[in-house]
Structure 1
């Protein structure tokens, strides 16, 4: 007996056209994921003979900008500093582990007397997916050699060539958000009106985005009835928007025009963090709490404790615990992911029995259930994972990990037609660092 197995996905690859400050293309870099390694090949022309430092930079912008080292505007300063996924804050050799040196520290390229140069090498310091992903970042070639020790860039001088690392053969569309502090964490879709809703983890602002045109408008200003944060979101059958309020310990319900309907407060207790919601067919709404081991339920516009997780196999620890949650179509089960352990759980809504489905989903944040397929936004890992579930939802298998064009801390996702739309929340920059603006949602084909 034969089985039709899905075809293996094509290896991830990317290209960067290397330009000078006038915009002329004078080189190319190619990138191919090969197991745990990335094969890089770089060619340049029009440079002075000798060795030139070469680095991956944080942002996908080859525009003038401020060089933090000199506080002056320089060519390609918009690319930011060196990509530093290990947060080493230290320039080092290409052989150094990311926790000791920038992930973006690359071997030098040697240019001959004719002004042409080339380099080809393998590296494990970066990847085209996961926490070390370099898609939609930039590669910069400098004027001088790299001493591999001096911060921030090894005394390698001016930025002479820059290229944005663009994934090959991948179509995606971005919805741009207008605010400088948007940090879009939650997302929901009103199919009847063709509107995507997304909310700010920083200030509670909620935007409505036309899924076809991309036009964006402010749907509800943050601060309304105490909503200082907008995390998980769902649109119900009446077109109302439900919003988990994080540390406020509240769920907000908004009418289809954005007017407040209700603010549902959980009982006062230390350290609340209402993170995501799932709507069941019977009208119940289940709400995860990432810091208190309790699953909450809303019925008849009243929120109540529903399941004490301390009496289940789900064990809370430091950090963010239960996060994303979805209900199966018949409402019999809830599926929820524990961010700090990577475990996926099934909860029976009749018996309240808890079953461990699988592990391996570290940094699992928002969930989207499509039949027996579960999509998991894994924020710090910068991917959306595809999980195939058994008929009873009691077990699952990881199938694919998709980085799109370069996701920046994807926190959750929705389905619009045959496409997925993911937030790029950049929550890792919420309490420190400089986010890349404009903030955006990214739409790409379901995989």
Structure 2
């Protein structure tokens, strides 16, 4: 089961209309240019580097928490967003072993051996926390300052957000359940695993991935006109309860609150009172990809920095700023994957030409990891094309086209973040990078001016 966040695609058991969703290279050393501690910059402003780790990636993709360490990614990240936590029909955060709904086995029950463990020690049968959660705890111990956020919702799991946010009572109960489960770490008992406080201290905040308040998302996701004001109230309820809980702790800390937010102006206006919600958010992650997707009949860019009469990163930034978002709280989303088409006709470089279908790929047609696209480029069967003014790239072999971001594109976007005084960069998703973290290193160096 794949939980998508606005067509963040890979293995998918649930169907998705990509068109409906749209409505809304330098060398890289493994540990080169790593900060001394996560969150520290190299002598300049401290930019956020937020990477999504997918719960289900530990299966077919075999991307483990340990891989964020060995690739050098963890040393360069400030935040890891764990994707995802779900919301049930009663408007509560929950987990369990429910196909398509929750995977407690991956989260905290699955034992890892010494070879696949961050600290090199095998899990025991008795420890209350195992799985991804325990590995993330070990990763934080190895990289002081690294923060882990629980990301709630995503494309497929935003189904019940509108109901949960509908009344003051429902909002209070919803937020309380999420804090109890993830911030207090009171996990359901699963054999020896779980129990009161089993995951306490793991999560440093909450990321809201409601897609989308006030406008259409996945086919079963409820949305209402009143979602816009209810989202504002929900954000404030999260901020209030997180702050209240922080005051009860012996070691005071600030629990961070963020969100993934859309690029389409009509979706922004339908669901977000920008000037109000930004008071309570520490930052928001801007959708910086899927501007066009492989379900469309014509090839196009999916993540251009600049574009005339089309979606772009710059357009997204300006639209959020015009509505009251401060630049320092805007984190630019960057794709570690590409969108692809096949049956492309019309000649030329293949862009903006008719296509017959999404391109064949490893996990899902029309979606491919950067590490696989890099191999296509290196093999020489595809030609790399660039729109230097627009800040995007694509591969084309005469029949199949892939639009994607490579290190050169990401360095340009990193310069844009610095020049505009923005908050940093976000990546969907870390498992798409190369084994030595080539994309992560490109952004880290770009934000560090090196």
Same fold (TM over 0.5): no
Structure number having the greater helix percentage:
2
Specify which structure has the bigger relative contact order, considering alpha-carbon pairs within 8 angstroms and separated by 6 or more residues: 2
Structure number having the greater strand percentage:
1
Structure 1 length as normaliser, TM-score? 0.27
Q: Which has the larger radius of gyration?
A: 1
